A and B are shown apart, each in its own frame.
Chain A
């Protein structure tokens, strides 16, 4: 019998979980990553991973409650069946990670400890120190290494995915492999795969500086989109309210700094260059305290985000003329601060080079996560209620069991499959789970769930669907796909070697300008005028990109070439993000339009789907109804009622 293989692109939590699950089922895996998989972006997740647990269960919590919270958190833009399956799996996934040796924090009796996170009244977040993502990634990396040592997984580290290879046209298009490039030798070649899983994460770099790793550029997703995969809810980008703007990237600052008494302010006078301690009280503008006298600095995070943004971007009052405000703790006792906030203050000092006990911190909202991603489908599971349920209250009767297969049909070949047959999207690059905004500590869960649950679907797809094994396909398909990429590569190199490019069109400058406009117009506060301006700017940059010039003509380890090629792909993805934002004339979750401030369910309880139009080079966008049917739509009001019920302890950040 001919051997069938699976290609996994991306070695973060989603890619590794898929690799392990598929190798375990006896199918060889080829795993591609731009960095050694242990250095993937999943390491950056700090907070934790959500799952129902025994303590919470005995207090009235349930998997179903977790499901309900995730939908309301996502402002009902989530696909409901996959979310139900995910939350039902969550406790099983925690157990599995525990068996793999993840050092989850422990209670005094030796059970797994839990912490409170945003969006819930129950402690349902498992954590491992302040580096939960790193610890989970390492556990999966270790299990994957075991399969590498047994020859069941082949790792291609430092290989960049360039394009999916497909056969057939239209609805019968099927993924049969990929073209990839060795980032060291610059060799471009094709790989055959009976299924291809994209687990390539988010697209933070489209927005310039974000909290993402430098590898999270959205290039791989854009290439699949250009190959015909649909990209859904592109406009849903989560912005973290308090990040430390750095010269190279933005790093998270926990919101507990505000909870412990931090005051947000800017100098009243624009262009005031005095040191903060030299600016007297009456010349400081305490943004949140003056605009929201009742709540002051403790306003909900979406409001804090928008006001900080408004003061800097619209009023031009940012500190030192830059997009940043002071988050000031210097009025407090340094010893108290060390006791309460020591860890996060040390991180600030390490990267910002100032001790926040004596110098006000400088912070600004930063792009953090993409809820949108490649569109995927699924087969519904056993739970088929006669009519959708209303709000689920703690201790309420649970309408459905927690067995595998309630939300999704277990192992159905199309679970998490894109519109291209055999091309799957797992993890952050899958649009299905988080709707219009993501609940804190749900990201790690969705990544591992995709790999562990839907990895089985991939195995079933290649075994049961009776497609011709790709090893029997004609080599010409693969050679042609490789040639397209080789030609594109050679043309970029020629801009330096032959001087065909224009020096003024430096790729780093184009990327910088793209990040500036996307951050200003397509993140926290959006308007039709701003988004139109953004689209115009993207069109200008796209024109300039046609005459880009590389700074490096080397045939060996040419990072400029890789970066430049990706800038072109980022511009294409950016257009879809901005246009979907322009067409969604409502406010929902992280998408806030000042010209349409209300949620409009009649028109927009729908996913935006972007299809790449090869003729125009731009997106065609259509809105299609959200796949619901399990839970009834209701207003998103918990922000007004929940805080009174919690104790005085500051909840952990919801979207860390």
Chain B
């Protein structure tokens, strides 16, 4: 987890902060900046006025329009990634006060209720920085490709409905299917290591996100036709066996996806897969 771990605050504290937030105050944003791959990083601080409902996005918007540091030095607008701002697309993930989360749902009243309080913003740790707070998460989409995270349908022609499904089973799949590939789980995972070189992606731990998505498709009546291929990947190098059971992933998942249950379920499938391979001589 991030360098400023000591300043992590729980949800009760955040609610309490909201109640005492001072109207019309300014807060300090301390932002870890980097101009591009291979360039040195630096801290810059900005004094940003708050308004009702201010969040990290509105504050970064303010900085974009007023790119002057707290010391009065003119600088460039901060670069960051965002899209929906409703915590359903996953784009605006960053490390805020040492904890990885979406910045759109991060309210200033909850993190910096008093005049001059400080909020630190850092890029996610496990991905290459493109510029400032914007990182390249291509590896996560690549992992979805590796575990064949899709239902192998026969094509888009009109062939009638899909398989029937019980209400409970749908609820289980829906919970897994809310994963927005934001990367909080892998950023917080001690076993998931930063790999700037694409060549190393396949040999290092694939992470909870892809394992849980593999489970989602193994649980679908048509999707399970690819189960063996998914399990080949997940029992190979960087597979399920690399999980260190720290359970960080489930703590930081913004959607409350039962990632550790998924890891356990895939772990059981891995055992069955190994026995099956043993008897079929694979």
Is A39's CB under 8 angstroms from B90's CB?
yes
- From known contacts A101-B220, A106-B165, A560-B64, infer whether A43 and B76 are also in contact, taking CB-CB under 8 Å: no
Is A556's CB under 8 angstroms from B180's CB?
no
Within 8 A of A (CB), among B136-181: 136-138, 141, 144-145, 148-153, 155-156, 158-162, 164-167, 169-170, 173-174, 177-178, 180-181
- Please indicate the chain B residues that have their CB under 8 angstroms from the CB of A129 in the complex: 174, 178
Contact stretch, chosen from A140-148, A482-490, A525-533: A140-148
Interface string of B87-127 (1 = CB under 8 A from A): 11111000000000000110101100000000000000000
30 pairs of residues in contact across A and B, judged by CB atoms under 8 Å: A21-B156, A35-B89, A36-B181, A43-B89, A92-B158, A95-B158, A95-B160, A99-B162, A101-B150, A101-B223, A103-B165, A103-B174, A104-B170, A106-B170, A107-B167, A111-B164, A129-B174, A134-B178, A135-B174, A143-B153, A146-B150, A157-B138, A246-B53, A247-B53, A248-B61, A249-B85, A351-B86, A551-B67, A551-B77, A557-B134
- Please indicate the chain A residues that have their CB under 8 angstroms from the CB of B82 in the complex: 214
- Chain B positions near chain A (C-beta within 8 angstroms): 18, 35-36, 51-55, 57-58, 61, 64-65, 67, 76-77, 79, 81-91, 104-105, 107, 109-110, 130-131, 134, 136-138, 141, 144-145, 148-153, 155-156, 158-162, 164-167, 169-170, 173-174, 177-178, 180-181, 217, 220, 222-223
Interface string of A102-132 (1 = CB under 8 A from B): 0111111011100000000000000011010
- Nearest Cβ on chain A to B89's Cβ, whole angstroms: 4
Interface on chain B toward A: helix, strand, loop, or mixed SS?
A: loop
- From known contacts A143-B150, A247-B54, A557-B131, infer whether A99 and B222 are also in contact, taking CB-CB under 8 Å: yes
Contact partner, A38, options B131, B165, B180, Cβ 8 Å: B180
Number of residues from A at the complex interface, CB < 8 A: 71
- Nearest Cβ on chain B to A397's Cβ, whole angstroms: 25
Query: Please, how many angstroms separate the alpha-carbon atoms of A44 and B82 in the complex?
Result: 13
Is A110's CB under 8 angstroms from B165's CB?
yes
The answer to the question of A554 belonging to the interface, with a C-beta cut-off of 8 Å to chain B, is yes
- Nearest Cβ on chain A to B39's Cβ, whole angstroms: 9
- Please indicate the chain B residues that have their CB under 8 angstroms from the CB of A184 in the complex: 130-131, 136
Query: Please, how many angstroms separate the alpha-carbon atoms of A105 and B168 in the complex?
Result: 10
- From known contacts A108-B167, A129-B174, A353-B107, infer whether A246 and B58 are also in contact, taking CB-CB under 8 Å: yes
Query: Please, how many angstroms separate the alpha-carbon atoms of A65 and B217 in the complex?
Result: 36
Interface string of A8-51 (1 = CB under 8 A from B): 00000000000011001000000000011011110110000000
- Please indicate the chain B residues that have their CB under 8 angstroms from the CB of A128 in the complex: 174, 177
Is B36's CB under 8 angstroms from A248's CB?
no
The answer to the question of A559 belonging to the interface, with a C-beta cut-off of 8 Å to chain B, is yes
Is B156's CB under 8 angstroms from A106's CB?
no
Shortest beta-carbon contacts, A-B, top 3:
A247-B58, A98-B162, A508-B65
Is A145's CB under 8 angstroms from B144's CB?
yes
- Please indicate the chain B residues that have their CB under 8 angstroms from the CB of A43 in the complex: 84, 88-89, 180
The answer to the question of A352 belonging to the interface, with a C-beta cut-off of 8 Å to chain B, is yes
Query: Please, how many angstroms separate the alpha-carbon atoms of A648 and B46 in the complex?
Result: 53
- Other A-B pairs, 14, CB within 8 Å; known A106-B166, A249-B85, A320-B52: A35-B83, A38-B90, A95-B158, A101-B217, A101-B222, A135-B174, A142-B150, A143-B150, A149-B145, A213-B84, A508-B65, A509-B65, A551-B77, A552-B67
Is A131's CB under 8 angstroms from B178's CB?
yes
Is A551's CB under 8 angstroms from B64's CB?
yes
Is A246's CB under 8 angstroms from B162's CB?
no
Contact partner, B161, options A21, A98, A134, Cβ 8 Å: A98
- Nearest Cβ on chain B to A204's Cβ, whole angstroms: 12
- Chain A positions near chain B (C-beta within 8 angstroms): 20-21, 24, 35-36, 38-41, 43-44, 92, 94-96, 98-101, 103-108, 110-112, 128-129, 131, 134-135, 138-139, 142-143, 145-146, 148-149, 157, 184, 213-215, 245-249, 251, 320, 350-354, 452, 506, 508-509, 551-554, 556-557, 559-560, 563
Query: Please, how many angstroms separate the alpha-carbon atoms of A214 and B64 in the complex?
Result: 14
Is B178's CB under 8 angstroms from A145's CB?
no
- From known contacts A35-B89, A99-B153, A248-B61, infer whether A145 and B145 are also in contact, taking CB-CB under 8 Å: yes
Contact partner, A24, options B18, B53, B155, Cβ 8 Å: B155
- Nearest Cβ on chain A to B11's Cβ, whole angstroms: 11
- Nearest Cβ on chain A to B196's Cβ, whole angstroms: 15
- From known contacts A106-B170, A213-B83, A249-B85, infer whether A559 and B54 are also in contact, taking CB-CB under 8 Å: no
Is B89's CB under 8 angstroms from A95's CB?
no
Is A556's CB under 8 angstroms from B131's CB?
yes
- From known contacts A38-B141, A247-B58, infer whether A44 and B177 are also in contact, taking CB-CB under 8 Å: no
- Please indicate the chain B residues that have their CB under 8 angstroms from the CB of A110 in the complex: 164-167
Is A506's CB under 8 angstroms from B170's CB?
no
- From known contacts A99-B222, A247-B54, A353-B110, infer whether A148 and B77 are also in contact, taking CB-CB under 8 Å: no
- Please indicate the chain B residues that have their CB under 8 angstroms from the CB of A96 in the complex: 156, 158
Among A245, A247, A251, A506, chain B packs the most CB atoms within 10 A around the CB of A247
- Please indicate the chain A residues that have their CB under 8 angstroms from the CB of B83 in the complex: 35, 39-41, 213-215
Is B165's CB under 8 angstroms from A350's CB?
no
Among B82, B144, B161, chain A packs the most CB atoms within 10 A around the CB of B161
Query: Please, how many angstroms separate the alpha-carbon atoms of A40 and B84 in the complex?
Result: 8
Is B84's CB under 8 angstroms from A39's CB?
yes
